[in-house]
Amino acid sequence: MEVGGPWPERFDAASAEDLSRGSTLSLAPLIRHSLPQSIPASNSKREESKASSVPYIPNPFPELCSPAHSPVPIGSLVGKGVASENAKQTVRVFGEDTQGRSLSVSPGATARDVCHMLVETAHCSDQENWALIEFHAHLGLERCLEDHEIVADVQSSWPPEGDTKLLFRKNYAKYEFFKKPMKFFPEHMISDSADGTKGMTSSELIQNLLQSGTCPEIQGFLHVRDPGRKTWKRVYFFLRRSGLYCSNKGSSKEPRHLNYVADLADLNIYTVTNGRKLYNAPGEHTFCVKPSRGNARELKLLCAEGDESRTCWISAFRLFKYGKQLQCNYQLSQSTLRQQAPSRRDAKLRGGDDSLVAMDFTGKSGGRVIQNPKEAENAEEEEGQAWRKREALRYSLVSGPQASRPSSVHQTQPWFHGRVSRCEAQRLIEEQGQVDGMFLIRESQQHAQCFVLSLCYKLKTKHYLLIPCEEAGRKYYTMDDGETLFIDLLQLVEFHQINRGILPVRLKHPCVRVAL
Tell me, what's the pLDDT at 121? 85
One domain, residues 164 and 233: no
CB atoms inside a 10 Å sphere around CB 330 = 19
Among residues 290, 307, 328, the one where a domain terminates is 328
Does residue 244 sit within a domain? yes
Is the pLDDT higher at 133 or at 363?
A: 133
Asked whether residue 307 carries a pLDDT value surpassing 80, the answer given is yes
Contact 239, 217 (CB under 8 A): yes
Strands 130-136 and 141-144: antiparallel
One domain, residues 159 and 189: no
One domain, residues 99 and 201: no
Does residue 81 sit within a domain? no
Does residue 478 sit within a domain? yes
Is the pLDDT higher at 193 or at 109?
A: 109
Asked whether residue 31 carries a pLDDT value surpassing 60, the answer given is no
- Given strand 89-94, what is the order of strands in its sheet? 100-105, 89-94, 164-170, 130-136, 141-144, 267-272, 286-291, 300-303, 218-225, 232-240, 243-247, 258-262
Does residue 25 sit within a domain? no
State the CATH number of the domain containing residue 153: 3.10.20.90
Domain containing 271 equals 176-328
Asked whether residue 22 carries a pLDDT value surpassing 60, the answer given is no
Instruction: Report the percentage of the chain scoring pLDDT > 90.
Output: 36
One domain, residues 191 and 307: yes
Asked whether residue 432 carries a pLDDT value surpassing 50, the answer given is yes
Among residues 285, 302, 328, the one where a domain terminates is 328
Q: How many domains is the chain partitioned into structurally?
A: 3
Tell me, what's the pLDDT at 436? 92
Residues in the chain: 516
- Quickly state the pLDDT bin for 352 (edges 50, 70, 90): very low
One domain, residues 195 and 165: no
Is the pLDDT higher at 177 or at 442?
A: 442
One domain, residues 162 and 95: yes
Q: What is the pLDDT of residues 45-75, one digit of tens each?
A: 444 444 445 555 666 555 555 444 444 444 4
Asked whether residue 443 carries a pLDDT value surpassing 90, the answer given is yes
Does residue 68 sit within a domain? no
Asked whether residue 494 carries a pLDDT value surpassing 70, the answer given is yes
The pair phi, psi for residue 356, each rounded to 5°, is -95, 130
Q: What is the pLDDT of residues 369-380, one digit of tens each?
A: 676 776 776 666
One domain, residues 211 and 230: yes
> Counting runs of H as helices and runs of E as strands, what totals does the chain give?
18, 19
Asked whether residue 385 carries a pLDDT value surpassing 80, the answer given is no
Does residue 483 sit within a domain? yes
Element (H, E) at 478: strand 474-478
Tell me, what's the pLDDT at 361? 56
The SS3 call for residue 13 is: helix
Q: Which of 16-30, 210-224, 468-482 has the highest mean pLDDT?
A: 468-482
State the CATH number of the domain containing residue 320: 2.30.29.30
One domain, residues 309 and 196: yes
One domain, residues 224 and 277: yes
One domain, residues 307 and 210: yes
Q: What is the pLDDT of residues 97-108, one digit of tens each?
A: 678 889 999 999
Q: What is the pLDDT of residues 180-220, one digit of tens each?
A: 887 888 888 887 654 444 556 666 666 666 666 567 789 99
One domain, residues 234 and 100: no
Question: How high does pLDDT run on average in the chain?
Answer: 76
Asked whether residue 398 carries a pLDDT value surpassing 60, the answer given is no
One domain, residues 182 and 166: no
Tell me, what's the pLDDT at 257? 92
